[in-house]
Structure 1
Amino acid sequence: MNNCRKWYPVLAMLAIDLALAVSNILLRKIVGDGINLLVFITYRQSISAFFLSLLAFFVERKSRPKLTFTISCLLFASAVIGTSVTQFMFLVGLQYTSATFSCAFLNMVPILTFLMALPFGFEKVNFKSGNGGRAKVVGALVCLAGAVLLTLYKGKPLFRFADSNQQSTNPHMKLNSERWVVGSIALLVGTLCWSSWYLVQTSIAKRYPCPYSSTAIMAAFSSVQSAILSLSVSRDLSIWMLNTKAHIFIILYAGMVGTGLCFVGMSWCVKKRGPVFTAAFNPLVMIMAALFEVPIWHEQLHLGR
C-alpha cells in the first residue's frame, strides 16, 4: 500500500497537467474574443476563492492552524507572484502567440525552479552519491535546450491544413514578428514568476499545511489585486460584461478547476515531493495542449516554435 501511495503525486500531476492543457485551449477562445485580461483574472480568482472557501470549510475547519501575520504576507506574495502577475503575463503571451507556444515556455519552469531552489536549500545536488545528482543536472540542461530551441527556431510545418484553416478568423490572433517578441517577453516574465511561486509555496506548505484554505486566501488576494488594477486602468464598466454563455463556462472552469483544484493539487505535491518535482511536470502541458489544439483549432505545429 505504501508503494502505491508513492505514485499519488505522479498521478495527481498528470491529472493537473491535463486540466491545465484544457484550460489553456479554452483561454485561447476567450482571449481571442477580446475580453479584458484583468477582468478575466478578477472573475477567475473570485470564483476560485468562493469555490475553495466552501471546500475548506468542510474539509479543513477542524485542522486549520492560526493564520498569522507572517503567513498572511506569504500568501499575499504568493498571490502576486503565482496568480496576478503570472496569469496576466501568460494571457498576454497567449494573445500574441499561440496556446502551444505559450505552454512551451513551461519547459523552462523546471530548470528555473531547480536553479532557484539550490541557494535556498530546497534542492540538493550530490555528485558523489550515485547518478542522482548528474541526472538532475542533465535533465535541467535538456529542459533549457528545448526551451531555447522552441523560442528561437521555427522549422517546417508538421501538418498540412487547408488555407482557410491556417489563418485565424479573429484579428486578435493574427501574428507578426513584433507581437511574437512581445508575447515571448511576457511569457518569460510569467515563467520566472511561476518558478518563484513554487519556492514561496514550499514555505507556505510548511507553516500552513491546509491547501484548500491557503489557495482560497491566495485567490481572494489575487482577485482584489486584479480588480484594483483593472479599475485603475479603465473605468468603463462595459468591460465587465460577459457576452456569451461560452465565456461564463470558460471562466467557471478556469476558476474552479484551472486555478482552484489545480493549485490545491500542486500545493499538495509541493508539500509531498518538493518544488522541483512538481515543476518537472510542466512540459507535459505543452504536449497535451498540442493534442487538443491541432484537431480543434487546426493550429499548425512546426519543428521548433
Structure 2
Amino acid sequence: MVMKEEQWAPVIVMLISSVAMGSVNALVKKALDVGVNHMIFGAYRMAISALILVPFSCIWERKTRPKLTFMLLCEHFFSGLLGASLMQFFFLLGLSYTSATVSMALVSMLPAITFALALVFRIENTQNLKSKSGVLKVMGTLICIMGAMFLTFYKGPEISNHHSHPGVLQKNKNTLHNNGHDQTKNWFLGCLYLIIGTVLLSLWMLFQGKLSLKYPGNKYSSTCLMSVFAAFQCAILSLYKSREVEDWIIEDKFVIFIILYAGIVGQAMSTVVTSWSIKMTGAVFVSTFAPVSLVAATLFDFLILRSPLYLGSILGSVVTITGLYVFLWGKKSEIDQSVSNTLTTSNENIESEDHRITNAKDTKLPV
C-alpha cells in the first residue's frame, strides 16, 4: 500500500499543478493583451515568487540548507537563466512574430524534446526502449503530442453559445492579417524563437533533475534562490523593448491580481512541485504533463473567461488524456519491473548467503 502511494503521489501532484498552470496561462494572456511589457511582468512574477518562498526556506530548511558557496550561486543563476528569464524572453519574442496557436503547439512538443534530450545526454537508457514499458512510454508521448497538435491546429465548429466574445475572434483575424509583407519570414523566425524557448525549458528540467540530487530536501531554498536571480535577469532583458520607468508602474487592479496569482501559484508553488516531481520520477515524466496544462487552459478560458469553445478542443483533450494514460501505464510497468528485479536479486542473495552458511557448517562437522 505504501508503494502504491509513492507511485501515485507525483501523478496527483503534477495533475493539480498542471491544472493550476492552465489557469495561470489563461489569465496571463489577458494581462498581456492590456499591453504590459512581457519581461517586466516576468520580473514582478519572479520577485513575488522569491518573497513568498523566503519564510518557507528560513523556517523549514534552516538546518538542512547548504552553505552559500560560489558554485551554489552559479548553479542557481544558470537554473534561473534556463528555466525562467531566457526561456520567457525567446518564447514571448516568438509569440510576437507568430500567434498563440503556433506557440501552444510548439510548447506541446515539450515531452518529445525532453525525451530526445534525455536520450542524447544518456539520462534515459536506450536499451529500455525495447521493453514493454519503453514502448508504452514512447507511444504515450507521441499520442500526447498528437492530441496537443490536434487541440491547437484543428479548431472545428463552435459548440458553445454565440454570446461568447465575437470581438476576440475578430481581433485574432486582424492580428494574422496585419503581419505585413514579411509574414513568411516572421513566421519562420518566430517558430525558431519558440523552439529555442521550448528547448531551454527542456534543458532546465534535465538540469533541475541533477540539481535536486545535489541539494536534496531544499526545494524551497533552491526555488527562492533561482527566483531572485531570474527577477534581475528579467529586469535586464526588459530593456530590449522599453527603457521607460513609467512602464514599471502598473495601476490596473486586475493586472496586479494576475501578477500576484502568477507569482505565487504559477512560479513559486509550481516550481517547487515540479522540482520535487523531477526528483521523484525524472524530467521526461514531468514534461508529459505539459498537454494537461493546455487542456486546463482551454477549459478555464471557456468556463471562467467566457471564450468560445470548439469541437477541436474537445477531441484534442480526449486524445491528450489517452496519451497521458498510456505513458503512465508504461511508467507503472517500468516501476513494477524494477521492484520485481530488486526482489529477485534480493532473494538470490539471501539464498546464496544461506547456501554459504550451510556449507560452512558442514565443513565444521566432526569426522
Fold in common (TM above 0.5): yes
Give 3-state SS (helix, strand or coil) of 1:162's partner: coil
Greater mean deviation of Cα atoms: 283-292 or 176-185? 176-185
Match for residue 86 of structure 1?
A: 87
Counterpart of 2:310 in structure 1: which amino acid? Answer: L
Greater mean deviation of Cα atoms: 89-98 or 135-144? 89-98
Match for residue 255 of structure 1?
A: 263
Q: Is the 8 A contact 1:85 1:190 kept in 2?
A: yes
Give 3-state SS (helix, strand or coil) of 1:45's partner: helix
Give 3-state SS (helix, strand or coil) of 2:156's partner: strand
Q: Is the 8 A contact 1:42 1:227 kept in 2?
A: yes
Give 3-state SS (helix, strand or coil) of 1:303's partner: helix
Provide the C-alpha distance between the structure 1 equivalents of 2:91 and 2:151, rounded to a whole number of angstroms.
16
Q: Deviations over 1:113-164 (max 9, x none)?
A: 111111323222435874012122223333444455566x445334355387
Match for residue 198 of structure 2?
A: 191
Match for residue 34 of structure 1?
A: 35
1:240-251 matched pairs, under 5 angstroms: 240-251=248-259
Q: Does 1:175 align with 2:175?
A: yes
Q: For 2:211, which of 196, 204, 209 is the aligned residue?
A: 204
Q: Is the 8 A contact 1:81 1:197 kept in 2?
A: yes
Q: Is the 8 A contact 1:104 1:283 kept in 2?
A: no
Counterpart of 2:244 in structure 1: which amino acid? Answer: D
How far 1:183 sits from its partner (Å)?
5.5
Larger Rg: 2
- The 1:67/1:259 distance shift into structure 2, 3 A limit, reads same
Match for residue 97 of structure 1?
A: 99
Counterpart of 2:288 in structure 1: which amino acid? Answer: A
Q: Structure 2: 5+ residue runs without aligned partners?
A: 317-367
Structure with the larger helix share = 2
Counterpart of 1:193 in structure 2: which amino acid? Answer: L
Match for residue 66 of structure 2?
A: 65
Provide the C-alpha distance between the structure 2 equivalents of 1:90 and 1:299, rounded to a whole number of angstroms.
25
* Identity across matched positions, percent: 36
Counterpart of 2:159 in structure 1: which amino acid? Answer: F
- The 1:38/1:172 distance shift into structure 2, 3 A limit, reads farther
Counterpart of 1:67 in structure 2: which amino acid? Answer: L
Q: How many residues align?
A: 303
How far 1:105 sits from its partner (Å)?
3.3
How far 1:56 sits from its partner (Å)?
0.7
TM-score by length of 1: 0.87
TM-score by length of 2: 0.74
Provide the C-alpha distance between the structure 2 equivalents of 1:128 and 1:294, rounded to a whole number of angstroms.
39
Q: Deviations over 1:44-82 (max 9, x none)?
A: 111111111221111111111223333322211111111
Q: Is the 8 A contact 1:166 1:300 kept in 2?
A: no
Q: Does 1:113 align with 2:105?
A: no
Q: Deviations over 1:217-261 (max 9, x none)?
A: 111111111112224653211101112111111111111110000
Q: Is the 8 A contact 1:20 1:258 kept in 2?
A: yes
Match for residue 312 of structure 2?
A: 303
Q: For 1:294, which of 297, 302, 307 is the aligned residue?
A: 302
1:121-270 matched pairs, under 5 angstroms: 121-126=122-127, 130-146=131-147, 153-154=153-154, 156-159=156-159, 161-162=161-162, 165-168=165-168, 174-176=174-176, 178=179, 181=187, 184-209=191-216, 210-231=218-239, 233-270=241-278
How far 1:17 sits from its partner (Å)?
0.4
Counterpart of 2:61 in structure 1: which amino acid? Answer: E
- The 1:188/1:173 distance shift into structure 2, 3 A limit, reads farther
Q: Is the 8 A contact 1:23 1:258 kept in 2?
A: yes
Match for residue 9 of structure 2?
A: 8
Give 3-state SS (helix, strand or coil) of 2:312's partner: strand
Counterpart of 1:246 in structure 2: which amino acid? Answer: F
